[in-house]
Structure 1
Amino acid sequence: MLKRVLVLAGFAALMGAISPARATQITVMSGAAVEAGLVIAVEAFRQQTGDNVQIVFATTPEISRRVGAGETPDVVIATPAALDDLVKSGKIEGTGRVPVGRVGIGVAIREGAPKPDVSTTDALKRAVLDADSVIYNRASSGLFVESLLQRLGLAEQIQGKTKRYAGTDMIEPLIKGKGNEIGFMPVAEILHFRNRGLQLAGPLPEDVQNYTSYAAQPASKSAVAMAFVRFLETPESKGIFAAAGIE
């Protein structure tokens, strides 16, 4: 699985310089589907407060496993169900949760490849059958895609050309493909990796679309952690996430 850790550090606050001695660093463990918006929101928070934020990206199942095993981030961004389980097990604080947004599933192809029609369910089925390979992950979005392919009666027909990867490991084989590959992944992730060679063929048709909601919750009693979570529900942050494809 592709794991990425991003550290954003700085020294200036919105209302004047902050002494480095006052700057605090927190760790945020987040689902990768909201990366495009979260990175920008973290930078905006840093500029306003001077506090440093380290982000660890992982799939929701991996977040649940790691925090459940004893890792101690200051903030967790994951699905509400995963957060509920971590609260019930006493691994994170039970208050202060704010919604971040929801992300739909899209169809990705490599840049420059012919764009398939996925505007209707029938068109989507044809695109899947015509593809040389169908790629998706083992995270929550991949579980939905697997069930969707079964529901559409396609799973057995494409069994020999289905490829699954951990998290965003699916990106490399998709952009380096030589044939007619298509991939299923969150729209926000596709948009985020446009500079790596991905192209959005389109979101899933609304009648088969699935949205995954994400929320942020303090995992510790750190004042900075709670301030960061509150920042994520400001109009500024909501605009940042919306621009990144996170509704």
Structure 2
Amino acid sequence: MVNNYRIQVFSALAVRAPFVSLEAQWAKQHPDTLLEIEWNPTTVIEKRIAEGETADVVILTVPAMAKLVELDLVSASSIINLVDSQIGLAMLPEAEAPDISSTEALKNALVSARSVAYSLGGASGIYLQQLMKSLGIEEAVNSRASTIPEGFTATKLIDGSADIAVQQISELLTVEGIKVIGPLPQDVQKVTSFQAGIFRHAKNPDAALTLLEYLRSEPAKKAYESFGLRFIP
């Protein structure tokens, strides 16, 4: 069937993994409406929007969404809460997982790692840099770190560049052939909340609203939770 409509979406990477099944279900329910999703870290999406790019729907962190509302680029009345996301660590399945149950244990694990992979452009990577600085291990870890500008840090486990990857747990689980060894300890955990909203000048606002309603549905909730994301009631 020829698609009659399309919904353009800018989305942060943290919710990409559950969208594999969500897009398939959407296609069955709305065969005449194509989803065109561009996946980037929040910082990259903010830069693109600042340069004048736009879409129909945007999925971003709560602070980033607030900025778009303030700039009158996204309609405040359209915004919905989606999920909370935790940062975690991953390794290869056969690797012996270090203790990361406390802040001190985490510190030792990061310093002892052959190489730690993190994203310079992602919310988790930006936070990790702040955390390492506060723990006094920034130089020790970064001297051997495997950083990427954006994307999925666990790919660095697969290609052998790193033995620990740090990112949102849902993003780690996007990469096959790895294991998540746990979230950051609670006292240094940073939970990131994500929202979706409709651009003020969306080309297809009605279709965009239908998509947002779908993203709050029970199938969507189950998809989020299967990848370690907490649905926000």
Q: Normalising by structure 2, report the TM-score.
A: 0.88
| 1:211 paired residue number | 191
- CA–CA distance in 2 between the matches of 1:209 and 1:169? 19
Which runs of structure 2 are paired with 1:1-247 in the superposition (5 Å)? 11=1, 20=2, 23-50=4-31, 51-138=33-120, 139-168=122-151, 170-177=153-160, 181-193=163-175, 195=176, 197-219=177-199, 220=202, 222-247=205-230
Of the structure 1 ranges 169-178 and 135-144, higher mean CA displacement relative to structure 2 is found in 169-178
- CA–CA distance in 2 between the matches of 1:172 and 1:146? 19
Unaligned runs of 5+ in 1: 1-10, 12-19
- 8 Å Cα contact 1:109/1:175 also seen in 2: no
| Alpha carbons of structure 1 residues 159 and 236: separation in structure 2 relative to 1, 3 Å | closer
- 8 Å Cα contact 1:67/1:91 also seen in 2: no
| 1:14 paired residue number | none
Deviating 4+ runs (over 4 angstroms): none
| Alpha carbons of structure 1 residues 203 and 214: separation in structure 2 relative to 1, 3 Å | same
RMSD of the TM alignment (CA)? 1.9
- 8 Å Cα contact 1:107/1:183 also seen in 2: yes
Letter in 2 for 1:31: A
Among the aligned pairs, what percent are the same residue? 29
1:92-125 residue CA offsets vs partner (Å, 9 max, x unmatched): 3332111110110111223422222222222212
Q: Normalising by structure 1, report the TM-score.
A: 0.84
- CA–CA distance in 1 between the matches of 2:158 and 2:105? 22
Unaligned runs of 5+ in 2: none
- 8 Å Cα contact 1:117/1:201 also seen in 2: no
- 8 Å Cα contact 1:76/1:217 also seen in 2: yes
SS in 2 for 1:71: coil
Q: How many residues align?
A: 225
